[in-house]
Every structure is written in C-alpha cells, then in structure tokens.
C-alpha cells in the first residue's frame, strides 16, 4: 500500500487535536530496553497507536505500542514506545509511517535506539555504539513507490543519514559521563531469524559493526524529510558464530536491562544538550 499525503496529514491532524498547544520538537524511537523512558516523560499525553488513523499496532515483545508526548530532559519530545518491524509483516512504509507524521507535527530531530548483535570480535557485548552510518542493501527502500515531494526529493542524498553535528555532541556527552562509546556501522538484516554465522562474516566484510532488525528504514525516511538523526545501538550480544553458543531473545533482554542506567543517561544527556 502506498500512503497518500492526505493520510499522513489525517494522522497528524488527529494527534494535533489531542495535543492542544503542545508541539513536539524531538522524536524518539526507543528499542529494546529503553522503552521505559516513555514512562518518565513529564506532563505526558499518551496515545496508543491503535487510536491514530492509519497507524499500525506494534506486536514485538517489550514494545508498548503508543506515542508519548511531553517533556524529557527539558525538550519537547514525542516518544514512540515500541516500533514496528518489517518481520512483523509490515511493509517498510508502515514501519516508517510514524516518522513522517511526527515530522508534520513539527519534529526536526529523531533519536533512535536499538539492540543489535556485535559483529566485531574486539568489542564486547554490553557496550554502546554510536551509529555513524548504516547498510541496508538486501531489502527494498521505504521510499519505494510514488515519491511524495512534500517530504523530500525522489533521489535523496544519503551521505550523512546520521547528522555529524549530533554525533559530535554524543561523543562529548559520553566523554563527560565517562562512558565508553564505540562508533560504527549498523548493518540491517530483516529477521526475524537471527543471522547465520556466514551472514555475520559477510556483514563484517561489507563494513558492518553491528547487525540488527530495525532502525535503518526509519532513518532513511527521517533523513528524506530533512530531520537530523542521532542513533545508538546497545551491543546486546556477540553476533551469531562469534561465541560457541546459540543466540536467544532472553540474552538480548537481559543485556538491555543491565545497560539501562548507562544507556538512558547517555540518551538523556544528549537530549539535554540538543
């Protein structure tokens, strides 16, 4: 299905009516482990996805499926508590639909977080990575189909999907908090099966540092419509084949719980400095 500009506007219009005078500036898509930040938004107005025209529900475990508007670290935010994934059966347009709606509501910045497998053998599970770029070669683009010029051009430049200025800000905040922040390329794999060891080796050869099943589509759409993007990965596990043990969702959730304090302080610190 191709969404029309009218549909994006209808979604934004519905939300605008619910928000009254509040206008968000920073959109946040929080992955495994950081969804709780949506619960600490001040003066929160929460809208379940199911109530918003044209929105799809999120079915992934640990993803609440609602938008929370309010103030966080002094910024006016729109927090997506739970994202949609392609592996849930949604198209890439569905997955990134909310980003355009949040853009219409006035958000000019997107912060994305996720959990992903660590491809590099010289890094460790549990570490945090600043996303400097991404690879999404083996699946279609969320921009496929008729272009909506109200959002951006047909052939958008993708040289800096992740805004260099925000990367610099993240480095500064990490240093001030004494947090080790790795930097690398997020290699998108659509899942839901974890990668094979051969796929992980291929990702490494192609320049990936982390492998994960989210984020890349939303970031393409955000950059297309002129948003500044900042992205972080929690390296929740060593990617398949690196350690002699099977991967499990429990391992990812445990790592997310363990990193919760450090990860949320880093994200909140960056938000404050925006």
Residues that bind ligand HPA (CB under 6 A): 115-117, 189, 194-195, 211-213, 236-237, 239, 247, 252
How far is C-alpha 168 from the chain's CA centre? 19
Helix crossing, 5-19 with 92-104: angle to 10°? 50
**Per the structure block, which two tokens stand in for 109?**
């910045």
User: Closest CB to ligand HPA among 103 and 136?
Assistant: 136
9's enclosing H/E stretch is helix 5-19
Cβ at position 52, least distance to ligand HPA in Å: 27
> Around Cβ 4, how many Cβ atoms within 10 Å?
12
Cβ at position 23, least distance to ligand HPA in Å: 33
Cβ at position 154, least distance to ligand HPA in Å: 31
User: Closest CB to ligand HPA among 27 and 256?
Assistant: 256
User: Closest CB to ligand HPA among 73 and 214?
Assistant: 214
Cβ at position 29, least distance to ligand HPA in Å: 15
Question: DSSP readout, 148-194?
Answer: -TTT--SS---TTSS-HHHHHHHHHHHHHHT--EEEEEEEE---SSP
Helix crossing, 92-104 with 216-224: angle to 10°? 40
Q: Supply the DSSP symbol for 53.
A: T
| Chain position whose Cβ is nearest to ligand HPA | 117
User: Closest CB to ligand HPA among 124 and 176?
Assistant: 124
Cβ at position 18, least distance to ligand HPA in Å: 32
User: Closest CB to ligand HPA among 194 and 263?
Assistant: 194
Cβ at position 161, least distance to ligand HPA in Å: 19
**Per the structure block, which two tokens stand in for 259?**
């990193």
d(CA 229, CA 217): 13
């Amino acid at each position: 299905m191709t969404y029309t500009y009218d549909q994006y506007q209808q979604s934004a219009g519905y939300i605008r009516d619910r928000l009254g005078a509040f206008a968000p500036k920073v959109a946040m898509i929080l992955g495994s482990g950081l969804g709780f930040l949506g619960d600490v938004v001040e003066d929160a107005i929460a809208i379940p996805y199911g109530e918003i025209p044209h929105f799809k529900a999120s079915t992934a475990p640990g993803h609440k499926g609602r938008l929370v508007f309010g103030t966080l670290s002094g910024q006016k935010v729109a927090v997506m508590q739970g994202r949609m994934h392609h592996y849930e059966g949604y198209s890439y347009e569905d997955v990134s639909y909310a980003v355009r709606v949040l853009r219409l509501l006035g958000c000019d910045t997107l912060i994305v977080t996720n959990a992903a497998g660590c491809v590099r053998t010289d890094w460790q599970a549990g570490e945090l990575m600043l996303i400097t770029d991404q690879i999404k070669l083996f699946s279609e683009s969320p921009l496929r189909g008729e272009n909506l010029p109200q959002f951006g051009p047909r052939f958008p430049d993708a040289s800096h999907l992740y805004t260099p200025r925000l990367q610099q800000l993240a480095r500064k905040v990490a240093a001030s908090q004494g947090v080790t922040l790795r930097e690398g390329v997020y290699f998108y794999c659509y899942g839901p099966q974890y990668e094979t060891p051969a796929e992980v080796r291929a990702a490494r050869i192609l320049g990936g540092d982390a492998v994960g099943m989210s984020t890349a589509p939303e970031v393409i759409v955000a950059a297309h419509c002129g948003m500044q993007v900042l992205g972080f990965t929690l390296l929740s596990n060593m990617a398949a084949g690196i350690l002699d043990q099977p991967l499990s969702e429990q391992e990812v959730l445990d790592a997310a719980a363990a990193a919760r304090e450090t990860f949320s302080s880093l994200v909140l610190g960056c938000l404050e400095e925006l």
